[in-house]
Structure 1
Amino acid sequence: MHLLLRRVRLLTNGHLSEPQDLRIQDGRIAAIGPLLPSDPGARELSFAEEVWVMPGWMDVGAQVGEPGYEYREDLHTAAQAAAAGGFTALAPFPNTSPPVDNKGAVAFLQHKTAGLPVRFYPIGALSVGTAGKDLAELYDMHSAGAVAFSDGHQPVQDAGLLLRALQYAQAFDGRLLDWPFHKGLAAGGQMHEGLVSTRLGLRGIPPLAEEIAVQRSLSLLEYAGGQLHLHLLSSAKSVALVRAAKAAGLAVTASAAVLNLCFTDEQLQGFDSLWKVLPPLRDEAHRQALLEGVADGTIDFLCTNHIPWHIEAKKLEFPYAEAGAIGLETAFALCRTYLADVLTPEMLAEKWAVAPRRVLRLSVPEIAVGAAAELALFAPDQLWTLEEANVRSRSVNTPLLGRPLRGRPLGIIAQHQVVGIEV
C-alpha cells in the first residue's frame, strides 16, 4: 500500500494543522509536509473540499450480534459500519448468545475479527451469562485479552456482586464498566419521565432510576477501591455526582451517548419508535448538563450506543418496540450538525479517539512519521443525507434516515487496508 493524500488537515498533538500532504507506505506514515513529491507507484488522493485526518476513532459498548444474533449484526457488518463512521476500533459489549463470559468466548471474538480493518477489543462479562448472580472468570478473560468487564445492557442490580467485582479486579488492575440503571425504578417506563411523557400518556423512566445507581456505584468504589467507568450517563444529577467523585479523588470515568447530547424527549411526540432508546432522551435541562459535563471533562468520552434491531422489533406500537438505535455511521455527522459550537476538532479527537483508549489503557494511534497508519478521514462540511440503501450495518433502526446532515466520514486507513475514501 502506497498512498499520497494531498492537502489534508492533520489532527496532531491536539491541534488541527494547516493543509499538508501525507504519505503512507507499507502501512506506516512515511512523510508529512507541504508539496510532497509525487511517486509513480503511489495512489494519489486529492479532495475538492476540506478534509480532516484524525487518529481512528474508537467506540466503547457497541452491540454486535455474533454469536447468536447475526440477523441483527455480525462482526463483519459491524466492522463495515464502524469503518463507514471513521472508527478503527470497537470494544463491544458482551451481550451475545452465548455471552462473552469466558476465555474461549474472548478468543472467539479475537479470532473471528483477525484481519479486519477495524480492531475489536473484547469486553468480558462481569457475571456468568450476564445474569447478575455469580462472578464470571474475570482473571482468565483478562489473561486472554479482555480490556474491561461489564454486563453491558444487562445492568448489574446486585450491589454485592459489583462490590466483589471491584475487589477482585484489583488483583490484576482490571477496570469495570457499569451502566447505572435501576430496573425496579424504571419498570414499565417507555421514555423520560416529564412533561412530554405526561402529554403522551406514556409511563416515564425517572432520572432517579439512573441517579440511585450512580450513587450506589460511587459509594461501592469509595469503599472497595478499584477502577470504575460509568457508561451512558443521561441525567444532570448523575453528571454532578461524577464531577464531585472525581474532585474527591475517586478512580471513576464516565461516558455519554451522542444521541442524548443532540436531542431531547420532544422527538418522541409522534410516537416514532426509532427514537426509543436507553437511556432515554431526556429534557433540555438534562441535555445541557451533559454538554457541560463534556466540556469540563466530567464525561471523559462519547459513544454511539449502537444497538441494531431487526425491523420486526422496532416496527411495533411504541410500548412494544425494543429500545435502541444504530449509530456507528452517523456519530461524526451528529457532532458536526448539532454540536459544532461545543465540540471543536480537537475535542472531537479527544472524546472519540484519545480518551476511550486512555480509559481502557490502550495505545493511541499517532499521526507522525514512522507511526503505524490508523487513521480516519472526515469531510467536516459536506452536506449529505443518510439513505437506507447506503447503511452498512445489517440493521437500519435509526431515526436519522432522510434527515439532512453536515459532516461526513470518508473512510479509514488501518491495518494495511483502505476502506471507503472515494475521491
Structure 2
Amino acid sequence: MKLLLKSATIIDETSKFHHQKKDILIENGAITQIATSIKKPTGYKEIVLENLHVSQGWFDTSVCFGEPGFEERETIQNGLETAAKSGFTAVAVNPNTNPVTDSKAAIEFIKNKAAKTTTQLYPIGAFTKNSEGKDLAELFDMQNSGAIAFGDYNKSVSNANLLKIGLLYTQNFGGLVISFPQDNSIALEGLVNEEKNSTKYGLKGIPSLAEELQIARDLYILEYTGGKLHIPTISTKKAVKLVKEAKKKGLDVTCSVAAHHLILNDDEISSFDANTKVLPPLRTQKDTKALIKGVKEGVIDIITSDHNPIDIEHKKLEYEKAKFGTIGLESFFGAVNQVLDIDTIVKCLTTNPLKIFNIPIHSITVGNKANITLFNPKEEYVFNKDHISSTSKNSVFLDKKLKGKVYGVIANNKYEIN
C-alpha cells in the first residue's frame, strides 16, 4: 500500500503536527513522511478530498454484532466493513451473542472471524456465565485469549457481592470490569424515561433513580475493593455528578456516553417510533445539557455509538414489544459533531478509550503505524437509509440533519475510503 494524503489538517494532540495542514506519505502501513508539500512519487495513489481532516483511528468501545447466533441482525464481516466506512479503525464488541461470549473458545472464535480486516475487533467478555448474573465467567482465561474487558451488555450486576468479588479478582491481572448502570428493581418493565412525556404518552417509565442508585452502589463497592470500573452509557445529570465526585476521591472509574444521549431527548417518543426505544432511555433536555458539559469537562471519558442492530421482526412492532437498541456507527460523527468541538470528539475516540482499554496509541508521526481516520467536519446532510451499511436499519437518527462526513480509514496496511 502506497498512499499520499494531500492537504490534510491533522487533529492529534499527541503529534507535533496538531492543527497543522500537511501532506502525509504512507508506505506498507507506516507513515514515512509528513511535510507541507510532497510531490507524488511514482507508484503512489494520491488522495485529494475536500476539507480533509485526519486523526488517529477512532475506537468505539460499545458495538454489537449478531454473530454468532443473530446473523440476521449483523455479521462480523459486514459490521467491521460498516465500522471502517464510519471512521472506526477499532471496535470493542459486546458479548450479547448466542451463545454468549463467556469463554476462551468464544473469544477465540470472534477474533478468528475478524482476522485480516481493516478495522480491528477487540472482544468484551461476559462478566457472568451466560450473562445471567449468577456466577463469574472465565475472566482470566478470556483476557489471556484477547478479551479487553468484562461486562454483561445492558444487564446490570444485581448481586452486589458478585461485583465485589469480580473487582477484587480482576486486580490480579489488571482486568477492567464494566457495570451497566440500572437498578432493575426500580426500572421494572419501563420503556422510556419516567417524566412528563411518559405520562403524556401513556408509556411505562424508567426513573433516573434506577441509574443513579446503581452507580452510587457500584462506586461504594469500588471504593471498598479497589480495581478498575467502567460505567457505560450514562444518561442523567446526577450520574455525571456521581462520577465526578468519585474521580475526585481518586477512584479508578471511567464512563462513557452514547452519541444519541448527547443529541436527542425524550420528546422523540411522541412519534411512538420504536427506533427511539433505547437503553438507557432518552432523557430530558436538562440531562442532555449536563452530559455535554460532562464530556467537555472530562468527567465523561468516552463517546460511543452504542451500535445495536435489531432485525425488523423485533423492532417494527408496538412500542411495548419492540427490543431496545439503535444502530449508531454510520450516524456517529454527523451527530456528535453538532454539539462538540473536533478536539474533544477526537480525544474521546482515541487517547481516552485507548488508555482505558489498554490498547496501543498510534500518533500521527513519521515512523509510526498508519492508523488514521479521514473526515470532513463541515458537510451537512439529512441522514436516511441510503447512508446505512448495517444489515439492520433501526436508526434513531433517520431523517435527522447531521453535520460532518467520514471519508474512511487507513489501518492494518489497508484502506477503506468512501
CA drift at 1:62: 0.9
Query: Tell me, which stretches of 5 or more residues in structure 1 are unaligned?
Result: none
- Residue aligned with 1:82, SS: helix
Amino acid at match of 1:37: K
Q: Which residue of 2 aligns with 1:221?
A: 222
Q: Which residue of 1 aligns with 2:95?
A: 94
- The C-alpha deviation readout for 1:133-152, integer Å capped at 9, x for no partner, is 01111111111111111112
- Residue among 15, 34, 37 paired with 1:35: 37
- Within 5 A, what are the aligned runs for 1:76-91? 76-91=77-92
- Residue aligned with 1:298, SS: coil
**Distance of 2:399 and 2:237 partners within structure 1:** 31
Instruction: Answer with 395-404 or 158-167: which moved more.
Output: 395-404
CA drift at 1:154: 2.2
**Distance of 1:19 and 1:390 partners within structure 2:** 29
Q: Which residue of 2 aligns with 1:4?
A: 4
**Distance of 1:29 and 1:330 partners within structure 2:** 29
CA drift at 1:384: 2.7
- Residue aligned with 1:289, SS: helix
Identity %: 38
CA drift at 1:39: 1.2
Amino acid at match of 1:413: I
- Residue among 366, 372, 376 paired with 2:373: 376
Instruction: Answer with 151-160 or 228-237: which moved more.
Output: 151-160
Alignment pair present for 1:172 and 2:173 = yes
CA drift at 1:64: 1.1
Instruction: Answer with 197-206 or 152-161: which moved more.
Output: 152-161
CA drift at 1:160: 1.2
Any conservation in 1 of the 2:107–2:142 contact (CA below 8 Å)?
yes
Q: Which residue of 1 aligns with 2:110?
A: 109
**Distance of 1:291 and 1:403 partners within structure 2:** 19
**Distance of 1:287 and 1:222 partners within structure 2:** 28
- Within 5 A, what are the aligned runs for 1:147-226? 147-226=148-227
Q: Which residue of 1 aligns with 2:310?
A: 309
**Distance of 2:92 and 2:47 partners within structure 1:** 30
- Residue aligned with 1:318, SS: coil
Amino acid at match of 1:288: K
Amino acid at match of 2:376: A
Q: Which residue of 2 aligns with 1:75?
A: 76
Alignment pair present for 1:119 and 2:120 = yes
CA drift at 1:327: 0.2
- The C-alpha deviation readout for 1:227-277, integer Å capped at 9, x for no partner, is 101111011111111110110111111111110011110111111111111
Amino acid at match of 1:53: V
CA drift at 1:16: 4.3
> Moved runs in structure 1, 4+ residues, more than 4 A?
none
**Distance of 1:205 and 1:232 partners within structure 2:** 15
- Within 5 A, what are the aligned runs for 1:240-389? 240-336=241-337, 338-339=338-339, 343-389=340-386
CA drift at 1:81: 1.4
Any conservation in 1 of the 2:154–2:279 contact (CA below 8 Å)?
no
Paired positions, count: 416
- The C-alpha deviation readout for 1:162-184, integer Å capped at 9, x for no partner, is 11101111111111011111112
Query: Tell me, which stretches of 5 or more residues in structure 2 are unaligned?
Result: none
- The C-alpha deviation readout for 1:26-45, integer Å capped at 9, x for no partner, is 11111111110221211111
TM-score normalised by structure 2 residue count = 0.97
- The C-alpha deviation readout for 1:54-89, integer Å capped at 9, x for no partner, is 111111121111110111011011101111110010
**Distance of 2:187 and 2:119 partners within structure 1:** 35
CA drift at 1:403: 2.7
RMSD: 1.2
CA drift at 1:406: 1.4
**Distance of 2:154 and 2:400 partners within structure 1:** 28
**Distance of 1:360 and 1:18 partners within structure 2:** 29
- Within 5 A, what are the aligned runs for 1:41-52? 41-47=43-49, 49-52=50-53
Alignment pair present for 1:235 and 2:236 = yes
Q: Which residue of 1 aligns with 2:146?
A: 145
CA drift at 1:17: 2.3
Q: Which residue of 2 aligns with 1:395?
A: 392
Q: Which residue of 2 aligns with 1:24?
A: 26
Alignment pair present for 1:406 and 2:403 = yes
**Distance of 2:186 and 2:85 partners within structure 1:** 38
Amino acid at match of 1:395: S
Amino acid at match of 1:33: A
